[in-house]
Every structure is written in structure tokens, then in C-alpha cells.
A = this chain, B = another copy of it.
């Protein structure tokens, strides 16, 4: 049930420090989009109200019935999914879920996906003042129809464009969720930061496939799917490390997190909060174990707050921490002009 005594470490994180509508979480543990339904599915397995926040399934402009089956297959220490964004569409979604969340004591983040900049902006506008919605997460791992299906998240200009239009459409805290398929994920992160993203989250799934050797054809009806789970953790951690060392907004890390030790790796790489997807399928209690375990780990090592370990393993983060503020610069000028 977590610690309640006075010396419990401070686990509170602010994921939108630049935004007046703020996104303050009581702890840094967030179920990931597509892995937690709309929050109710896990009610029989975990205490949803104890979470830092949760992210909804990806919502699209129109309702979608998703891809044909099979949509999922297991891989070594991971899984592939090609759900195909089965969801009721933005309007059906708004009618159905936020009213339920309104009475919940946990911030609900809505994940949105679209194939055009205009559709992204339209959804953001519709969500802007919906009670029960705490923030949006913009999934830029989507094909951009006007760019011939090229993924938004693989191109800095397109990522910036989406971010800018969504920013103009809503004052809600905005998290931009990055794609690991980008050639240089740092470039994308910096582009969306410049356009007003309050935070970035990463990574979305890697593209993979499996072949059924009996039937001699791809296992997934969609041919390819997204790889997630512990298998991808080293790739995710590397990208979080890179991005956290290159932007000034909060970074939400995810990809294969299954244990307290995994979560700590992401914090030390520079993540302010974490998301958990695949691991919670196998063991929903992992979500509670993470909250309790991170708190216990911090307490056992005498950390008064989670913030104390964020970025400690990140060289560039350390450099940034040491970066002098404007007033200090004046006195240090000689050192810099040598």
C-alpha cells in the first residue's frame, strides 16, 4: 500500500512544468497506451487509483474495428502486435469514457493517432475542454497520408508540424510519443520540444514480423507488427538516455520495463516517469509492485525524492546539471572564451 510515514520519499512528478494546466502525478508509474484499455479493464487486477496516471488506448478520428486476426504473437522475451487501433473514434470515445474518469483520483491521458495533421488538430480541439481528460499523448508513429504513408515520427519537419498544430488546438498538457524507427530520435525530440511539447514519451514499438513455417506465411494478418516487451528494453533505454540528455522537457521512458530494477535504469538514464505496457499483460500486479518497489528502493538508500536519481547515469545530463545559469556565466566568462 506504499509508505505513509513522514519520511516516505517524494515520488511526485510534474510532467508539464511549462504548462499552467499542469500534469502532476503522485508517482511516476503509468500504464502505456494500448496496454491498459480505458482504465476499467484492470480494475479487477490492480488498484487503478494508486497509479501516477494512465494512458488510454489510441483514439482515432473515426471508429475503427482494427486489423483482422491474428493480431498478436509472442517472440523471444517479447511480443508483436498489430491491433490496428480498434477504438470507438474520438466522438464515441468522448461520450463514453471521460465521464467515468471524472470521478477517479488519477489523471487520464488520452493517446491520439491520425493520418493527417488536420485530424490530429481536430482531435486535440475536441479534447481540449473535456472534463476527465488530464492530458494528451500524441502518437506520431502513424503513417502520414499526405506524405505517401511515411511515418510522421520519422521526419523532424512533419513531427514539428503535428506538434505545432496540436499546440495551437489545445492548452492541455501535451506529450509527444516518439517512434524508435526515426534515424535520429534526438532530432525529432528537439523538434517537438521547440514547437511546444510539454513532454516526450518513448519508445513506441519497433517494427517486426514472424513467419508461420507450417503455413508458409506471415503469422500476423497484417504481415508486420510492433515489437514490445523486455526484448526491446536495451534499445528503449539507449534512446531515453540520448533524448533525456538533449531536451529540457520531461522524458517519459518505456519499452520492456518489468521490474523495479528496469524502472530505475530508465530514471537513471534521465526519465522523469515511466510507462509500462507488455509486462502488465503477463503480471498486472507489476504496476503496484513498481510503485511500492521504487519507493522502497529510494527510502532504503536515503533518497528524499525520486528526482535525486533522475539522470544520474547520464553523462550529458550531468553536464547539463552543471551548466551555469546566466548570472554565473558572467563570472566564468574567461573560462569559456579561452
Q: Which residues of A contact B (CB under 8 A)?
A: 75-78, 80, 154, 181-183, 206-213, 216-218, 223-225, 227, 229-235, 237-238, 241, 256, 261, 264-265, 268-269, 309, 312-313, 315
Q: Say yes or no: B269 contacts A211, CB within 8 Å.
A: yes
- Please give, as numbers and ranges, the residues of chain B lying within 8 Å of A227 by CB-CB distance: 234-235
Which residues of B sit under 8 angstroms from A223, Cβ to Cβ? Answer: 315
Residue of A218, A234, A241 with highest tally of chain B CB at under 10 A: A234
A207 nearest CB neighbor, chain B only: B238
| Contact between B313 and A211, CB atoms less than 8 A apart | yes
Q: Summarize A's interface: helix, strand, loop or mixed.
A: mixed
Closest partner residue, chain B, to A151 (CB atom): B183
Chain B residues near A80 (CB-CB < 8 A): 234
Q: Are the C-beta atoms of B211 and A265 separated by less than 8 Å?
A: yes
How far is the CB of A44 from the nearest CB of chain B, in Å? 28
User: B182–A210 contact, CB under 8 A?
Assistant: no
A-B contact pairs, 20 of them (CB 8 A): A75-B233, A76-B231, A78-B234, A154-B183, A182-B183, A183-B183, A207-B235, A207-B238, A208-B237, A209-B234, A209-B237, A209-B238, A209-B241, A209-B269, A211-B268, A213-B261, A216-B309, A216-B312, A223-B315, A227-B235
User: Residue on B with the closest CB to A182?
Assistant: B183
Task: Output the nearest chain B residue to A225 by Cβ-Cβ distance.
Answer: B234
Shortest distance between the CB of A47 and any CB in chain B (Å): 26
By a CB distance below 8 angstroms, the chain B residues around A217 are 313
Q: Which of B181, B231, B241, B315 contacts A232 (CB 8 A)?
A: B231
A183 to chain B minimum Cβ distance, whole angstroms, is 4
Pairwise interchain contact B233-A76, C-beta atoms closer than 8 A? yes
Name the CB-closest residue of B to A261. Answer: B213
In the assembly, what is the distance between CA of A179 and CA of B221, in Å? Answer: 27
From the candidates B181, B183, B235, name the one contacting A208 in the complex (CB within 8 A).
B235
When distances are taken between beta carbons in the complex, the residues of chain B under 8 Å from A241 are 209
When A154-B183, A211-B268, A213-B265 are in contact, do A206 and B235 touch as well, CB less than 8 Å? yes
